[in-house]
Amino acid sequence: MKLVQLAFLTVILFPAFATKAVENPREINWESLLPKMMQLKNPFESLNTGQLVDLETIVGITKLKQNANSAEIKEALDVEITLRRKMEKRGLDVDTLIQEYLNHEAEIIRRNRLTNKELDGQLVRMPGYALPLEHKGLGVTDLLLVPYVGACIHVPPPPPNQIIYVTLTDPYKLRGLYEPVWITGRLLIEPANKSLFLVDGSADIPTSYTLKGVKVERYEE
């Protein structure tokens, strides 16, 4: 009787193990990382290019006043007064525009950290450019996967939800900086803040996703 039960248990368990062993990765792209959300309305459609530049300058001076002493901002205040008068002559409510700008900026920052919850814990295959962080021997163990060449070094970093922090099971030997690769692994909604060391210093790069990479392949279409 026990042998019969053991055989039955083996039959039940074997398919479960087999299913897990052949789990196929879901191929995704950078757009896949973004959640579905309503398009953000532009509150400055009525402004021409010059007026928008003037508004951005005034907002910059407003932020400067919060962090600088009076001697540092004297010249900036003169610029602000001139631009305010110029905009007010056009019938624009400068203070309202400043608040709308700050609200719009805050909403963009919030959206840049949103993630696609459906991908949490999924086995995925993802293309991108490898920016190494940590090495072991001749191989890389930790890296940032970014959507374009130059990200985080030559140009400002992409939004946090467009950068993936990758830890590799086995070190991978990169052929060069920003090597295009495919990475397969378990994707987690696990924010990180990684230090990237540059020629002229270092930068802290926030990411919204972490990928536990088990396989790296050279990129091919």
**pLDDT tens-digit readout, 114-139:** 999 999 999 999 999 999 998 787 88
pLDDT digits (tens, 9 = 90+) for 18-32: 445 567 999 999 999
Helices 49-65, 94-111: crossing angle, 10 deg rounding: 80
Confidence band for 154, pLDDT divided at 50, 70 and 90: confident
158 Cα distance to chain centroid: 5
The set of residues, in sequence order, having a beta carbon less than 8 Å from that of 43 and lying 6+ positions away, is: 100, 101, 104
pLDDT at 159 over 90: yes
For 7, 13, 104, 108, 145, the CA distances from 209, given in Å and listed in that order, are: 43, 33, 24, 18, 10
173 Cα distance to chain centroid: 24
pLDDT the model gives residue 67: 73
pLDDT at 205 over 80: yes
Q: Higher-confidence residue: 135 or 100?
A: 100
- Whether residue 192 contacts residue 199, with contact meaning beta carbons closer than 8 Å, is answered with no
pLDDT at 52 over 90: yes
pLDDT the model gives residue 68: 64
Per-domain residue ranges of the chain: 49-111, 117-218
Q: Higher-confidence residue: 139 or 154?
A: 139
* Homologous superfamily, domain 117-218: Protein of unknown function (DUF3299) (2.40.50.870)
Q: Higher-confidence residue: 113 or 154?
A: 113
For 127, 148, 172, 209, the CA distances from 179, given in Å and listed in that order, are: 11, 10, 11, 20
Q: Model-level pTM?
A: 0.79
State the average pLDDT for the chain: 87
140 Cα distance to chain centroid: 21
**What is the spatial distance between Cα 131 and Cα 179, in angstroms, rounded to a whole number?**
8
pLDDT the model gives residue 123: 98
Identify the residue whose tokens are 């949103």: 114
Least reliable range by pLDDT among 49-53, 76-80, 96-100: 76-80
pLDDT the model gives residue 148: 94
The set of residues, in sequence order, having a beta carbon less than 8 Å from that of 190 and lying 6+ positions away, is: 209, 210
